Structure 1
């Protein structure tokens, strides 16, 4: 209708709006412009809808593509899960390796400490293991108790039951103890030498290994009593009754002497007891019942930390004065020119 009105507009009025208009004013008609604008907008809208529809149709995912995307995502998830598991395994492996290295480091530190300790303490009597109940100072206490208890019991038995003389009984007990100590000392030394040879054969005779084995032997409660007493039976077979009386003394002496012999270095008993007439050193001996500047006989030997070490326990000795005084008197007589009883007889 608009178009018809416009076709017939020349010299006429617009049916849709006001007034007359000429051909020149035709395009200025509000109705015409309005309808034309609406027509253009509608056409553009339709074109946009068609374009959007086409684009939507183009972009619309298919079921197959969705399944593909789902499978792809599931594959990616599995890969990530596998990666996580692999990293967890790797993490656990690294943690185990770390723990192993820490343990190895601790072992190396312990071994280094043991090596240094072995080098410092091996055969060094100046470093005492305070945790060792059989350390030399403790053995010295047992040594004194042996004399006070078992020695006295044995002495009483020999003098009261067998009616031995005092001096004879003391010398026999002293000889028995020295034999026990020397037997223990000899066996401990031989055992250690055999141990060194065995370690050398296996190429493991290190200071650390030897020190460890010596410490274990030192702290062990195993005493080769039968091997030691077997030798005593041979040396003292003629005194079977005395051996029976001395049983307690022998048992304690064997255990104590063995512990002294396996110390590192060994505790030493002075076995040089045949000192009759020699000066009595009060730094090493206590008097028995008789004081004197000379030694009559040794009752109990001196105990040292090592063979050339400091004193652990004093010995007991019977003093002698008559012999020195007699010698001095003889010297004085000779110097004065007086005749002795022998010269008088001549």
Structure 2
């Protein structure tokens, strides 16, 4: 390699270092003297290679530092994302609890984040009439060829499912509330089991409960009442959640009840005919969710022969003053609440 090329190389690599430039100048000077030229060129080449290696190492170190920095940034971003998710989940849970407490037995307060809030359920119930009910009608109409008989079959389902869900919900609530009462008894009068046969009541539990009540500036009775109120809210929320995730179980239970009533052929039809299965399944889910509201959403039918309530019902195909048949019930926020969706009647 020529000395000019070597000088350019060294200068290019380390132009910013005065110490390196000084050494390079000395080597260039020595090369001009024939006595030291060979040794100087060898030293120059070694020096140049050393500088190149240093540059490579520095470049590698910079890259490693950059990679580590990027990795740290990724870890930090992932941690931030994880924490944000936790905050969102905690916020959602707190909002749910707070919303349930606020809306408990207060129909005027609605949790707008709830996809199954009363107004939404009323809309969905009306959609079932417009869609699934219509499909079921076409199925029966193709078989029976008689509108009156078709309607007789279809109007049976909403009322029967409403009665079924109401009875089942009340039975469940009674059992769950009994378990809650048992739980409060256990907490209020705890017992320590020494062995398989001997147990000792731990009366300190009453003292602890009393201290908690004093710190909360409320009586033990108030504390117990508040705890029971929260437990009742959680029970209803639990019943509601279980319905959302297990509609098929509710459907099978409904079929089983009718099988016990000696209607096995009818229940087979409900299970095997797609249009009827879909209609009944949707009704079961929505009616159960309506009943699980606090207070429960109310469905209203008009009795045959009564005067048509035109403010709450529309006509099916025949209008008139008196009711012949309620085709679809009206939806009210609760037993004494406002109308949320009109029903449909067939008049005489």
TM-score bin, normalised by smaller chain: 0.5 to 0.7
Answer yes or no: is the 8 Å Cα contact 1:132–1:219 preserved in 2: no
Which position in structure 1 is the counterpart of 2:169?
188
Residues 219-258 of structure 1 mapped to structure 2, 5 A cutoff? 219-220=241-242, 221-222=244-245, 223=247, 224-235=250-261, 236-239=263-266, 242-243=269-270, 244-245=272-273, 246-258=276-288
Answer yes or no: is the 8 Å Cα contact 1:180–1:232 preserved in 2: no
| Residue 152 in structure 1 maps to residue 178 in structure 2 | no
Change (3 A) 1:313 1:114: closer
Which position in structure 1 is the counterpart of 2:347?
319
| Residue 217 in structure 1 maps to residue 231 in structure 2 | no
Shift of 1:154: 0.7
SS in 1 for 2:344: strand
Q: Among 292, 296, 304, which residue is 2:320 paired with? A: 292
SS in 2 for 1:197: helix
Tell me how large the CA RMSD over aligned residues is: 2.7
Runs of 5+ consecutive residues of structure 2 not aligned to the other structure: 1-92, 188-226
| Residue 140 in structure 1 maps to residue 170 in structure 2 | no
| Residue 267 in structure 1 maps to residue 331 in structure 2 | no
1: CA distance, partners of 2:340 / 2:320: 23
Which position in structure 1 is the counterpart of 2:304?
276
Provide the aligned length of Structure 1 versus Structure 2: 208
2: CA distance, partners of 1:134 / 1:166: 34
Shift of 1:241: 6.7
Which position in structure 2 is the counterpart of 1:342?
none
Answer yes or no: is the 8 Å Cα contact 1:158–1:242 preserved in 2: no
2: CA distance, partners of 1:146 / 1:114: 28
1: CA distance, partners of 2:266 / 2:233: 41
Which position in structure 2 is the counterpart of 1:206?
228
Change (3 A) 1:195 1:252: same
Rg comparison, structure with higher value = 1
| Residue 165 in structure 1 maps to residue 146 in structure 2 | yes
Change (3 A) 1:166 1:303: same
2: CA distance, partners of 1:130 / 1:248: 28
2: CA distance, partners of 1:202 / 1:306: 31
SS in 2 for 1:299: strand
Runs of 5+ consecutive residues of structure 1 not aligned to the other structure: 1-109, 321-346
* Per-residue CA distance 1:175-228 (angstroms, 9 max, x = gap): 122111211111111111111111111117521222133224324423333222
